[in-house]
Chain A
Amino acid sequence: MKRFLAVLLAALLAVTMLAACGDNANDDPQNGGNGNEVVGNGDETPDNGEADGEDDVQGDEDVVVMSYAEYAAAELETQVVVETYVQAKQSWWENSATLYTQDQDGAYFIYNVACSEEDYAKLTEGTKIRVTGYKAEWAGEIEIIDGTFEIIEGDTFVAEPKDVTSLLGTDELIDSQNQLVSFKGMTVEPSTDADGNEVAYLYSWDGSGTEGDDLYFNVSVNGNTYSFVVESYLCDSTTEVYSAVKNLQVGDKIDMEGFLYWYEGVNPHIISVTPAAE
């Protein structure tokens, strides 16, 4: 009996310690620590008051899903409903997610869509989702904001990068906004760091950042220079592309892939950098 009790107590001890030392990585940090105060930045739920999750999605018979052409033609600030496929996830915080999505016809940047952490984990590359939100523009970037989504099982789609190198500097480039694109044979141009030195990349746009911040670098083709970025929420300092950019030298010829993001002009979020194919 005593031996049994000892074993039982030991087992309980082990379970206790396991429970106590469990993975806290998924804990909501806002409820962590002192636990008395939760402060959001207003993104916990959509601003229009719509609740998260599938409960709010209307029945299929009521939903008018737009084609990409209809979405592109829609006025800003109007409600849109699209079905699209997740290509990459940028971030999740306080029950909202930011996603790069695309269908066979065009791409949709989904900013701060209401999303539980559990649902965020389900959003793997190619997952089909139906998004209901508002079309908006921020610094030239067309996006869907204040949205909700549901996952549509079955169908998947992963976009192939579209080579837009020849479109750089043209008015047509914006037609591919947010799509997975590639740039071929571009040359790394110098940036000027905080000390006035010429370097191949900068932490943050002006060199004011540190390891882990966005990486900015200049690349040129046909005599024109463009600023590209490794967005640290999308590709953090542990990723291959982050390391690849840190290893760039001025004058290197490179191929790149990324999402054709816009900020006061084209500002691609680069996800891959490789030496230019001969």
Chain B
Amino acid sequence: MKKLFALLLAAALSLGTLSGCHGSTKIGSFSVPSELDMSRDFEITFWAKNDTNKAQTRVYENAIEKFTGLYPNITVKLRLYTDYGKIYNDVITNISTGTTPNVCITYPDHIATYITGSNTVVPLESLISDPVYGLGGSGLRFDSPSANELVPEFLKECQLGGIQYALPYMRSTEALYVNKTYVEKLGYTLPETVTWDFIWEVSDAATQKDGDGNYLINGQKVMIPFIYKSTDNMMIQSLKQLDAGYSTQTGEIKLFNETTKDILYTIAEHVKKGAFSTFKISSYPANFLNAGQCIFAVDSTAGATWMGTDAPLSDISEDKLVEFETAVLPVPQYDPENPVMISQGPSMCIFNKEDPQEVLASWLFCQFLLTDEIQIAYAKTEGYIPVTTTAHQSEEYLKYLDSCGIDGNEHYEVKIKASKLLLENTQNTFVTPVFNGSASLRDAAGQLIENVTKSIRRGETVDEEYMSELFSDVASLYRLNEGGVLASGKAELGPLPVQSVALLSCIALAWVGIIGYLVYGRIRARKRRLLENI
């Protein structure tokens, strides 16, 4: 009886220990079920990103309504974000509690972090190729594109280590939105592709003021000729154009190099003249552009509906709008004959769950978002392009592109020009290597520009000593070590939390107790036998 009691206690202890790990319960790898169980109800959560654009919200809602019409036993709960970083932070938090969404809009950089957990994100190969439920599968209740109807470059961008962890949802790039009226007023002719030299020259020229402190070009007290929204992209594209180091495919860090320094010195020179600022420091480029307070605004093509005097979306009051002609060009280039620009935009990943049926339901919804109707509807909301060739070649989409500028909303000229920019340059796009830590490296690239810009604005000296300290500080902040390889997590994670220390201590004490009990029992038994022998 006593032995049984001790065994029960030991078993209970084991259970307690296991239950203590509830937040990190491991899920087995996913296998595609042979059939979707239509007798069961499923509720899947979809964390989506919109660009603070109600048209996009409507597309998501319509997609859900149509999907649930086809699959009445699958309910989709939409949670909207306006920021990829917030989705990333929430996913990380929810991985630890086992409460990840089913489907999530994301960047491949972020997936690289998600998959460091065990079976957290579902590899999609077996789903994609499943003859019944895969892309173009026979058992689908909708017309899905086949695997070879996804733009191959975009599909490949969602592979990590050769494994397909995501599907592309939409693609965009960055565009240079130009106040052409002011460029010409300054005596320049806008080329088809702007070089970095051109943009700095014109920007410097636009900083001239009159005796009252008003800028000659706009007669206002405010003029920031060149504003860049995403400084990480600014650095990444500059380095790519110059064929300089950023990172290797395997995660070796090459960012902190002499070319990076030269780029930063150039930026510093023009910040000093008042020719350049950033979104983080000043505000949205569109607000300055539309108020006639900026000439060159670089932002995503997915921000095109905010750009220009007649932009359908605006954050500034009408009395601040200035009339000008908006040109939509590729981002500035070092070699305009061989333009290079980033490929970006939302992708979709599926989180693994205990129930493979739930994962299959998630996959079906994910796939539904690739149908022509959804792809074209979402692409029309901004300067995005669909990720399937079927949508690209559809009559509806081609007609949409041909209708550029016929109205100021659905066919807003700047927006469709931005989409065309990417369609015409798909072969000139690139993505950065994805690895665990690539998101940090991206942030670090932008931070270098932000820091230099701030320092110049604050009257600090930017020289070799400054650069050395900057590289060191940013590498430290983003845990990029001196050797160029991301530091291992262990040293950076800090001391164990108190709860973990208590847990481990208790387990150790419990084992001491169990072993002590067994030894004590053995000794008593031996003593008893000795006494019996006597």
**Which A residues have a C-beta under 8 Å from some C-beta of B?**
1-2, 5-6, 8-10, 12-13, 15-17, 19-22, 24, 27, 29-42, 44-45, 47-49, 77-79, 93, 134, 136-139, 146, 193-194, 204-210, 213, 263-265
Contact = CB atoms under 8 A, between A and B. Distances in A.
A32 B489 contact: no
20 contacts: A9-B10, A10-B9, A13-B13, A16-B506, A17-B16, A17-B20, A20-B20, A24-B97, A29-B96, A31-B493, A34-B113, A35-B116, A35-B489, A40-B477, A77-B454, A134-B454, A139-B284, A208-B54, A208-B56, A209-B52
Q: Which of B10, B19, B50, B506 counts the most chain A CB atoms within 10 A?
A: B506
A106 to B, nearest CB: 23
B503 A16 contact: yes
Given A15-B502, A208-B52, A208-B56, A37 B510 contact: no
Contacts of A48: 451, 454-455
A32 B95 contact: yes
A22 B499 contact: yes
Contact of B9 (A9, A19, A36, A39): A9
A47 B470 CA distance: 10
A42 B440 CA distance: 9
B458 A33 contact: no
A34 B510 CA distance: 27
B462 interface: no
A156 B480 CA distance: 42
Given A16-B507, A47-B451, A206 B284 contact: no
A67 B514 CA distance: 67
In the complex, the 6 A-B pairs of residues with the closest C-beta atoms, listed nearest first: A20-B20, A32-B96, A33-B95, A29-B93, A139-B283, A19-B502
Given A42-B443, A42-B450, A210-B80, A16 B13 contact: yes
A33 B92 contact: yes
Contacts of B97: 24, 32
A79 B5 CA distance: 69
Contacts of B450: 42, 47
A6 B9 contact: yes
A129 B339 CA distance: 51
Contacts of B17: 16, 20
Main secondary structure on B side of the interface with A: helix
Interface stretch (B311-319, B404-412, B422-430): B311-319
B135 to A, nearest CB: 29
Interface string B37-64: 0000000000000101110111000000
B52 A205 contact: yes
B493 A20 contact: no
B513 A20 contact: no
Q: Which of A16, A24, A206 counts the most chain B CB atoms within 10 A?
A: A16
A17 B92 CA distance: 24
B283 A138 contact: yes
Interface string B70-100: 0000000011101001001100110111000
A39 B20 contact: no
Nearest to B21: A20
A209 to B, nearest CB: 6
A17 B20 CA distance: 6
B116 A12 contact: no
B54 A207 contact: yes
Contact of A12 (B19, B23, B95, B509): B509
A79 B532 CA distance: 88
Interface string B499-529: 1101100110110011011001000000000
